A and B are shown apart, each in its own frame.
Chain A
Amino acid sequence: MLTDIMLFLERLPGIFKGAGELGIIYAVLALGVFISFRTLNTPDLTVDGSFVLGTAASAVLAATGHPYLSLIAAFLMGSMAGCVTSLLNTKLGIQPLLSGILVMLGLYSVNLRVMGGRPNIPISRDSTIFSIPLLEPLGDYKELALSLIILVIILALLSLFLNTRFGYVLRATGDNEGMVRAAGVNTDVTKLCGLAISNGLVALSGAMIAQYQGFSDIGMGTGMVVIGLSSVIIGEVVFGSKPLIRRLTAVALGSVLYRLIISIAFEIGMPPTDLKLVSAVIVAIALSASKIGGGLAKIKKKFTTGEDGGALNA
């Protein structure tokens, strides 16, 4: 028993490093999901498809010797996917959730085409964003350092953007669309830009993950939206949500925390195949927290005062 614990403690720095690297890269995805889920108030399922679009674009372009360019390409392609979802919703009147599902489905074929018909393509270790000579002195920490630099740049740009005139109306759109239109803003445009940026970030995250793990696989995107949501919710609950810059940072930290929880769960014996189920349960609990909390308060009141606690619903 004692030796088990000693072994676990010995592995702990490695667990932290791995979770940190993945968490930081997935934080970019979490920020993307934050934009659709929080600022536009629509859960956007395009994410599962646009993530793989990012991995695919990155794998193909990295192979031609342009790993950095591939990040930009991935962002742009993800943005385009987001635009399609938004246009299906605003111009053709398809429900937001269904628009996302349709684009996600369509992207499966698109992603296969991008990957030249192969479901899995490897990326050479010598041709990734982590393989440039500048990073060599960092040794084992080059992945962590570079991912962190990219994340910090994105965090800074995003918090600046959300505090511009356009950022304000984008944030208000999810809160109160009618009010934004009453302020003379075409909400179709704010939704379009919001989903474009959101899916752009998701694809960028996918591109980084592909280069970090050394391959792109057609099945990598399954459940990405749930992972993003977990990070957003965990982050906001644990690290706070006011003011905006803190909230964005919290979402990023939420992603790292989520990875850490998952890594430790693996370490203490959770089979990797159960990962998706656990993620789904975490998000279900987090999303229903207020309801469960309200229910508990009601039961407590019933026991303490003998009333049925109906006033809580009033």
Chain B
Amino acid sequence: MLELCGVSKTFMKGTANELDALKDVSFTLSQGEFAAIIGGNGSGKSTLLNCISGVYIPDGGSIKLDGEDITYKPEYKRAHAIGRVFQDPLKGTAFDMTIEENLAIAWYKGRPRNLRWGITRKDRELFREKLSRFELGLEDRMKDKAGLLSGGQRQALTLLMAIIVRPKLLLLDEHTAALDPATSRKVLELTKVFVKEEGIPTLMVTHNMKDAIEMSTRILMMNKGKLVLNVSGDDLKGITVDKLVDLFEEKSGEVLDNDRILLG
């Protein structure tokens, strides 16, 4: 369970370029929930994810994961409990290492990085089995370097790396945005089957409202660093893109006019 309480973050404080990226953001994500975060450019979605993952330390408020206060915990220490997939397919893998080596780095998350073999025969069998369930043919290319993979294959690999050790929380930062529509579908399908149906608590930043409605148990909408909408449970039943837009405009007092948000 993830609890955010009054989280705020200001960049370049005290200068002319001061920017309130997050203003007093609070919400709770319960066990097994899949939440989508929607918002225009600069609304603070990515900053929010970066505060939760520890890339940025918030200026105020607190972040709790399964009851433990992680607000000031260094990124690498909280990474044991948090899986991440980035928008840029290049960011999730080491390009000069093989697929199986990348998986091994993720697989030994939370265990000592000592001088035992980086990968064992048993690990290899496990990776092959997991990869084959993705049905991308990657199980036969385990000795290929990750740099040889297409964007979609890399995102799939990064997704597997993020969940191969079941995380307490998964953060998906527009993980399909850089992919072509067909590949994007495929990766989203993998997300549905291996994340949502497995009940891994997830925060997914997306520009696609249809995807958000289709997949989520909770929808969070952000505007100018504020959380303006938090819909879940019965309120989500029968919701449509139009209704969501109306709600957003009612709550934020602004027209939702960002080109990058896909309404359809």
Contact = CB atoms under 8 A, between A and B. Distances in A.
A168 B97 CA distance: 9
A175 B118 contact: no
Interface in A147-183: 161, 163-169, 171-172, 174-176, 178-183
A93 interface: no
B28 to A, nearest CB: 24
B190 interface: no
Given A165-B113, A184-B76, A175 B94 contact: yes
B115 to A, nearest CB: 5
Interface in A180-198: 180-187
Nearest to B95: A175
Given A164-B116, A165-B115, A185 B76 contact: yes
Contact of A183 (B105, B114, B116): B105
A174 B95 CA distance: 10
B93 A163 contact: no
Question: Is chain B's interface secondary structure helix, strand, loop, or mixed overall?
Answer: loop
A167 B118 contact: yes
B125 interface: no
Question: Is chain A's interface secondary structure helix, strand, loop, or mixed overall?
Answer: helix
Contacts of A176: 90-91, 93-95
Given A165-B108, A185-B76, A171 B94 contact: yes
A180 B105 CA distance: 8
Contacts of A175: 94-97
B49 to A, nearest CB: 12
A172 B113 CA distance: 13
Contacts of B80: 184
Contacts of A161: 115
Given A179-B92, A182-B79, A184-B79, A172 B105 contact: yes
Interface string B23-67: 000000000000000000000000000000100000000000000
Given A169-B105, A172-B105, A179-B94, A185 B113 contact: yes
Interface string A9-42: 0000000000000000000000000000000000
Nearest to B162: A182
B13 to A, nearest CB: 19
User: How many B residues are at the interface, by size bracket?
Assistant: 35 or more
Contact of A168 (B75, B77, B86, B104): B104
Interface string B171-183: 0000000000000
Interface in B135-162: 161
A172 B145 CA distance: 12
A121 B202 CA distance: 65
Nearest to B161: A183
Interface in B104-121: 104-106, 108-119
B35 to A, nearest CB: 20
Nearest to B53: A182
Contacts of B97: 168, 171-172, 175
A183 B118 contact: no
B76 A166 contact: no
A169 B105 CA distance: 7
A167 B116 CA distance: 10
Given A171-B96, A179-B92, A165 B116 contact: yes
Contacts of B92: 179, 182
B117 A183 contact: no
Contact of B118 (A165, A174, A184): A165
Contacts of B104: 165, 168
B108 A179 contact: no
A171 B101 CA distance: 10
A184 B93 contact: no
A192 to B, nearest CB: 13
Nearest to B143: A243
B113 A166 contact: yes
A178 B115 contact: no
Nearest to B101: A168
A72 to B, nearest CB: 19
A163 B101 CA distance: 9
Interface of A: 161, 163-169, 171-172, 174-176, 178-187
29 contacts: A161-B115, A163-B117, A163-B119, A164-B114, A165-B113, A165-B115, A165-B116, A166-B114, A167-B118, A168-B104, A168-B105, A168-B119, A171-B94, A172-B94, A172-B105, A175-B95, A176-B94, A176-B95, A179-B91, A179-B105, A180-B94, A181-B76, A182-B75, A182-B92, A183-B106, A184-B79, A184-B109, A185-B76, A186-B77
Interface of B: 53, 74-77, 79-80, 84, 86, 90-97, 101-102, 104-106, 108-119, 161
Given A163-B117, A179-B94, A181-B76, 8 more contacts: A165-B118, A172-B102, A174-B96, A175-B95, A182-B53, A183-B108, A185-B79, A186-B76
